[in-house]
Amino acid sequence: MKYEDAIKKYDPVIGIEVHVELGTATKMFDAAPNTFGGGPNTNITPTSLGLPGSLPVVNEKGVEYAIKIGLALGCEIAETCRFARKNYFYPDVPKDFQTSQSDEPIAAEGQVEVELSDGTLVTVPVERAHMEEDAGKNTHVGGATGRIHGADHSLVDYNRAGVPLVEIVTHPITGTGERAAEVAAAYVRTLRDIFRALDVSEARMEQGNVRADVNVSLRESPDAPLGTRTETKNVNSFRSIERAVRFEIARQATLLEAGEKIVQETRHFHEESGETSSGRPKSDADDYRYFPEPDLVPLQPSREWVDRLRETLPELPAQKRRRLLAEWKFSDLEMRDIVNAGLLEAIEDTVTAGAKPSAARKWWTGEVARLANQEDRHPTEIVTPAQVAGLVDLIGQGKLNDKLAKEVLSGVVAGEGEPAEVMDARGLEIVEDTGALEAAVEEAIAANPDVVEKIKGGKMQAIGALMGPIMKATRGQADAGKAKELILAKIGV
Amino acid sequence: MTESSAITPEQVEHLASLSRIAMSEDELKSLAGDLTTILGNVARVNEVAGDDVPATSHPIPLTNVMRPDVVGPTLSSEQALAAAPAAADDKFLVPQILGEE
């Protein structure tokens, strides 16, 4: 059954667990550096390895970041919470348990406002955000594909073991219907933007800083009880999240149509095919035998600390978009295009550097985007906001018109220097030769009496027909504003 | 502790499998009896602890033990692997992982 048919027949319910690696200097429970890369098994201490006699100590910065995330999601910050041992045997956890939080998370009950590409707002309810540690990394050796099946043995690197994580769990997200897959991806993107705004993580999906598990279930109607869910693990790009949800909805609908049952299990997403495949049956939470971590005493973040962190919260992406929309006076559509193109920051910085919002928007979404597109790069990779602001400034001073500014821009992109340098080097500055301009204007008026009549008759847009010959006569260097003034003066309108 | 919360050999078997401990039928039965008795004794705490006594996870009245986010000394990979039964490429070598991906 296709996704489009599946969502007509069934009501999808999704739930998302997002893990974010915090950008602290050290791990959550020991002083080993929290850095990406480095030789295998070098960023570790006896505590990272769970060696006998080692004791964990909580990283204060990790708690601070977790509280900030909780506050940004509108959660209540617990007055008291505990760490717990989540027990399971797998070689990537050297202690045979993961230090996590169970029934007492640091943050609970919040919500995230998610904006879809067409501007529709969806509120995603957050159940909890809790602190835990990352696991090490297994490499399976001997199998053809590097997967477990067929592997002779596995190699384990514990550099990542103990890296601070915050896991954010949603309540079931209902009522999204045909947009379920889109909402899932937009939600994770929104969280990513929030992590970056809070400066608690680099939040790079491609490095695994942010990882999502997506739960999907179907039911006959919104009034029916929740169906059996599957959990697709470690879906690591926005596009994959959307594809995984679409695939699961279609797959489950096909099974239900055939009268079969959905198996509660974890599934794996395959990037190449866009499909999911069966993993292991989902363990009952009881099987993890959670119990309070005896080596870590309870955490009771003082209300003063929480209030202080609340005061330092930066403006969040959604608030910022609303503020800038009001300040810049763009249309909703223009704003959405900017956000979807990833140009909000660039335009904001360009405006801060002195450009008018409309001019900044025009250049970034126009010529800069066009040049970037030719090279298959992002506009922000080929010029800086300061350079665009410089270009806009030269136009404002009357030294460049749009046509010449495009030439200057291509020079800047080619690495020839800053806009003013390129303008000087290429000799593109508009020469204040009023005599030449006047001559060109007179010539154009004389050659186009019909156009002149129209202008006299009040049809101002007819002036455009005179600009072509004037630009041609001045080799594109005429200031359009001045030319227009001269035309009107000479015609006597 | 009520009769209905007695530990069954099946529960012990499940727990043993989670803990990767092989146990005989006899061991499962006798351990089920022992655990039922132990839990029954521990459950007597409920008789004296009223609603005003919060669940206690730690006997020491300490909270908020934290350290600043400052990097400390680390092990070298040689040190880390010194006690490992097997290693390759500066990594711990473990037997093939079965049954899951």
Q: What is the pLDDT of residues A16-71, one digit of tens each?
A: 999 999 999 999 999 999 997 789 999 999 999 999 999 999 999 999 999 999 99
Q: What is the ipTM of this complex?
A: 0.86
Residue A120 within a domain: yes
Mean pLDDT of A174-186: 95
- The answer to whether B96 contacts A153, with C-beta atoms less than 8 Å apart, is yes
**pLDDT at A441 exceeding the cut of 80:** yes
Q: Is residue A390 located within the same domain as residue A443?
A: no
> Among A144-148, A446-450, B67-71, which is the least confidently predicted range?
A144-148
Question: Above 70 in pLDDT, residue A265?
Answer: yes
Residue A328 counted as domain residue: no
Whole-angstrom Cα distance, residue A123 to residue A316?
A: 15
pLDDT for the residue A209:
93
pLDDT of amino acid A113? 94
Place of tokens 């309810």: A125
Are A159 and A237 contained in the same domain?
yes
Pick the residue with more confidence: A146 or B86? B86
Residue A143 banded pLDDT, cuts 50, 70, 90: low
Looking at per-residue pLDDT, the higher value among A435 and A223 belongs to A223
- The answer to whether the CB atoms of A155 and B92 lie below 8 A apart is yes
Q: Quick one: A348 and A206 in the same domain?
A: no
Mean pLDDT of A343-360: 94
pLDDT for position B100 = 46
The per-residue pLDDT of chain A, averaged, comes to 92
* A355 and A293 housed in the same domain: no
Domain boundary among A310, A327, A348: A310
Residue A66 and residue A189 in one domain: yes
Residue A27 has which token pair?
């791990």
Domain count, chain A: 3
Identify whether A315 is part of a domain. Answer: no
Q: Which residue of B has its CA nearest to A45?
A: B74
Report residue A371 as tokens: 């040049």
pLDDT at A43: 96
Is residue A318 pLDDT above 90, yes or no?
no
Are A96 and A78 part of one and the same domain? yes
- The answer as to whether A42 is a domain residue is yes
The answer on A268 and A381 residing in a single domain is no
Whether residue A459 is contained in a domain is answered as yes
Is A44 in contact with B60 (Cβ distance < 8 A)? no
Residue A428's pLDDT is: 86
B78 touches chain A (CB under 8 A): no
Q: Does one domain contain both A363 and A468? A: no
Chain A residue whose CA is closest to B90: A40
> Are A116 and A258 in the same domain?
yes
**Which B-chain residues 2-61 have CB contacts (< 8 A) with chain A?**
18, 20, 57-58, 60
Mark whether A374 and A461 lie in a shared domain: no
Cβ–Cβ < 8 Å for A56, A30: yes
Nearest CB to A41; choose among B91, B97, B100? B91
Residue A108: domain span: 3-310
Identify the residue among B11, B66, B90, B93 best suited for mutation to test binding to A, counting A beta carbons within 10 A and taking the highest: B66
What pLDDT sits at residue A339? Answer: 86
Domains of chain B: 1-50 (1.10.20)
pLDDT for residue B101: 40
Residue A324 has pLDDT above 50, yes or no: yes
The answer to whether residue A318 sits within a structural domain is: no
CB contact under 8 A, B97 and A151: yes
Question: pLDDT at position A456, please?
Answer: 86
Rounded average pLDDT over A100-121: 93
Q: Find the mean pLDDT for residues A344-371.
A: 95
Mean pLDDT of all residues in A145-172: 87
- Local confidence band at A147 (pLDDT 50, 70, 90 cut-offs): low
- Same domain for A304 and A441? no
Find the CATH number of the domain harbouring A477: 1.10.10.410
Q: Which of A262, A295, A310 is the last residue of a domain?
A: A310
Does A360 lie in the same domain as A306? no
Neighbours of A390 (CB within 10 A): 24
Count the neighbouring beta carbons within 10 Å of the beta carbon of residue A345.
13
Closest CA to A396 of A424, A350, A354, A352: A354
Q: What is the pLDDT of residues B12-67, one digit of tens each?
A: 999 998 888 999 999 999 999 999 999 999 888 888 888 888 778 888 889 999 99
Domain membership of residue A408 (yes or no) is yes
Look up the pTM and report it: 0.79
Q: Which of A373, A399, A426 is the last residue of a domain?
A: A426
CB A212 within 8 A of CB A16: yes
Pairing of strands A265-270, B87-88: unpaired
Confirm whether A332 is domain-assigned: no
CA angle A131, A135, A137 (to 5 degrees): 150
**If phi over 0 gives left and psi between -120 and 50 gives alpha, with beta otherwise, what is residue A232?**
beta
Cross-chain CB nearest to A60 (options B67, B75, B92) = B67
Residue whose structure tokens are 């080097």: A425
pLDDT of residue B51: 82
